[in-house]
Amino acid sequence: MTTPATTAAPPASADAHDAVVLTRVSKLYGDVAAVDDLTLTVRRGEFLSLLGPSGCGKTTTLRMIAGFEHPDTGDILVDGRSVLGVPPHRRQVNTVFQAYALFPHMSVAENVAYGLEQKRTPKAEIRGQVAEALDMVQMRGYANRRPTQLSGGQQQRVALARALVNRPSVLLLDEPLGALDRQLREEMQVELKLLQSRLGISFVFVTHDQGEALSMSDRIAIMREGRVEQLGDADAIYSTPVSAYVAGFVGQQNFLDGRVADAGAVETDLGPVRSTRGAPVRPGERVRVAVRPELVRLSSSEPDGTSENRVRGTVIGVAHQGETRQFLVDAGRGHTLLVRVPTPAAPRLGVGDPAWCRWETDDVHLFPHDGEHSAPPPTSVPDGHAG
Ligand SMILES: Nc1ncnc2c1ncn2[C@@H]1O[C@H](COP(=O)(O)OP(=O)(O)OP(=O)(O)O)[C@@H](O)[C@H]1O
Ligand SMILES: [Mg+2]
């Protein structure tokens, strides 16, 4: 283990500050609001992911924190001080990009040393710090190789070492694992998370991959059109989404649209649905109800109880997935429901069999209908064999 950097001692009160605070930050490109009145706090030492669809402003947000772009309005604090007008190399922030952009004509050690040389760090110090940074990413033995002599994962580690060698208080990572194949990507996820907790540096991690965000992050910011739609830990994002957009973006959902009836139940194409979760709604309002596939109960015979929260359909697909089994149920009127059941509890149902789907009022989320961004209905059973 290495000791923390002793250069540029922070003010005594620094620990009281959050690592990064963006307050009402906007960035316009022409008339496109890439970032739109965004407010976000990155806590000291946390692993925060920005998750959202292409074009929602993730990279622009990182570039403003790093200092490569300047906000039109709003303020950005790093370690408690405004960095507006502070050039990138004078911020306690470093960035790892998706295309790790190592200098091909330099050795691994020279690549890692580059930033220190720019800062005119004494030669003797550079050697020690480069060795230390390469140790952090388990690449010390590769110091003299060229980037072209390394695998993708090794290059990514060198890029990390290069970003960490300055001991930034915040590391920004823009889809750093996007170029790696799946196995390497999963290995690097574990390594990155371990490194982050060991170093205690705040990571702001941009990803398209919700699984990656859920498994690695202390908190996740779900972005939509230049703003943060929800910020919370994986459990909050998954279990208590604030909107249909978040509900559909993270994990899988069955969505049904309907209208709130006088009695409080929602009239949908597939019959009445009752919910105790989600936004308060008024009779007559158009709403979207959401039920996770793992919260739907599936049976071959009609369940007891009331007529609410149940749908009769026909099994049109079954996928065996080891611990779980997935069923696709054609519920009529163009609706297909996805149901996921632990394998030992899975009913003996095959394609063509009639089936009943049922769910608890506590497991149904109600959202005001926002007319867009709904997830498409499931149309096939992924990764499995129908039959
Ligand atoms: N330099 C630029 N000039 C003009 N428009 C830009 C520029 N950079 C970004 N934009 C626009 O701003 C919006 C946000 O872009 P940004 O790169 O931040 O998205 P992103 O969330 O990182 O997307 P992706 O997941 O595809 O990387 C997009 O509509 C994009 O086209
Ligand atoms: Mg981007």
Residue 197 lies in a domain: yes
Residue 347 lies in a domain: yes
**213 pocket-lining for ligand 1 (C-beta < 6 Å):** no
How far lies 344's CA from each of 112, 367, 385, in Å? Answer: 52, 33, 18
Q: Are residues 142 and 233 in the same domain?
A: yes
Distance CA 223, CA 206 (A): 11
Atom of ligand 1 nearest to the CA of 61: 18
Q: Are residues 230 and 256 in the same domain?
A: no
Pocket residue to mutate for ligand 1, from 35, 38, 50, 58, most atoms within 8 A of Cβ: 58
Distance CA 158, CA 108 (A): 7
Residue 376 lies in a domain: no
Residue among 311, 328, 315, 320 at smallest CA distance from 378: 328
Pocket residue to mutate for ligand 1, from 27, 60, 209, most atoms within 8 A of Cβ: 60
| Nearest protein CA to atom 27 of ligand 1, as residue | 54
Q: Are residues 214 and 70 in the same domain?
A: yes
Q: Are residues 163 and 51 in the same domain?
A: yes
pLDDT at 100: 65
Domain end: 212, 238, 264, which one? Answer: 238
**59 pocket-lining for ligand 1 (C-beta < 6 Å):** yes
**374 pocket-lining for ligand 1 (C-beta < 6 Å):** no
Alpha-carbon dihedral 304, 306, 311, 312, rounded to 10 degrees: 50
Q: What is the mean pLDDT of each run of 10 residues along the chain (387 residues)?
A: 40 65 97 96 96 94 96 97 94 82 91 90 92 88 93 86 89 87 84 89 92 93 96 94 92 93 86 84 90 95 84 96 95 95 94 96 88 47 41
pLDDT at 280: 76
Q: Looking at residue 287, what DSSP letter applies?
A: E
| Nearest protein CA to atom 30 of ligand 1, as residue | 55
Q: Are residues 287 and 214 in the same domain?
A: no
pLDDT at 371: 61
Residue 378 lies in a domain: no
Residue among 249, 247, 207 at smallest CA distance from 47: 207
Strand partners, 26: 73
Number of domains in the chain: 2
- Describe the strand order of the beta sheet including 354-358 as a list of residue ranges: 297-299, 354-358, 310-321, 324-332, 335-342
pLDDT at 45: 94
Q: Which residue segment(s) compose the domain that 322 sits in?
A: 252-368
Pocket residue to mutate for ligand 1, from 28, 35, 59, 65, most atoms within 8 A of Cβ: 59
Q: Are residues 22 and 147 in the same domain?
A: yes
Q: Are residues 111 and 163 in the same domain?
A: yes
What is the pairing mode between strands 32-42 and 202-207?
A: unpaired
Domain end: 206, 238, 270, which one? Answer: 238
How far lies 238's CA from each of 122, 242, 349, in Å? Answer: 49, 10, 29
Centre of ligand 2 to C-alpha 54, Å, is 7
Residue among 180, 124, 129 at smallest CA distance from 157: 180
**102 pocket-lining for ligand 1 (C-beta < 6 Å):** no
Atom of ligand 1 nearest to the CA of 50: 21
Pocket residue to mutate for ligand 1, from 27, 32, 97, 227, most atoms within 8 A of Cβ: 32
Strand partners, 278: 366
For 80-93, give the DSSP string.
TEE-TT--GGGSSE
**68 pocket-lining for ligand 1 (C-beta < 6 Å):** no
**Residue 59: which residues within 8 A CB-CB, separation 6 or more?**
174, 206
**253 pocket-lining for ligand 1 (C-beta < 6 Å):** no
pLDDT at 110: 95
CB 63 within 8 A of CB 57: no
Distance CA 59, CA 52 (A): 11
For residue 111, the domain's CATH number is 3.40.50.300
For residue 317, the domain's CATH number is 2.40.50.100
Q: Are residues 164 and 43 in the same domain?
A: yes
Token representation of residue 281: 């709604």
Q: Are residues 212 and 260 in the same domain?
A: no
Domain end: 238, 264, 280, which one? Answer: 238
Residue 130 lies in a domain: yes
pLDDT at 333: 92
Residue 6 lies in a domain: no
Distance CA 12, CA 77 (A): 17
pLDDT at 177: 84
| Nearest protein CA to atom 25 of ligand 1, as residue | 54
**55 pocket-lining for ligand 1 (C-beta < 6 Å):** yes
CB 303 within 8 A of CB 309: no
Residue 364 lies in a domain: yes
Centre of ligand 1 to C-alpha 54, Å, is 8
Q: Are residues 142 and 109 in the same domain?
A: yes
Q: Are residues 282 and 309 in the same domain?
A: yes
Residue 386 lies in a domain: no
**Residue 350: which residues within 8 A CB-CB, separation 6 or more?**
315, 318, 387
Token representation of residue 300: 């071959």
Helices (H), the chain: 58-66, 108-118, 123-136, 152-164, 182-199, 210-216, 234-239, 244-249
**57 pocket-lining for ligand 1 (C-beta < 6 Å):** yes
Q: What is the pTM for the complete model shown?
A: 0.84
Q: Are residues 282 and 197 in the same domain?
A: no
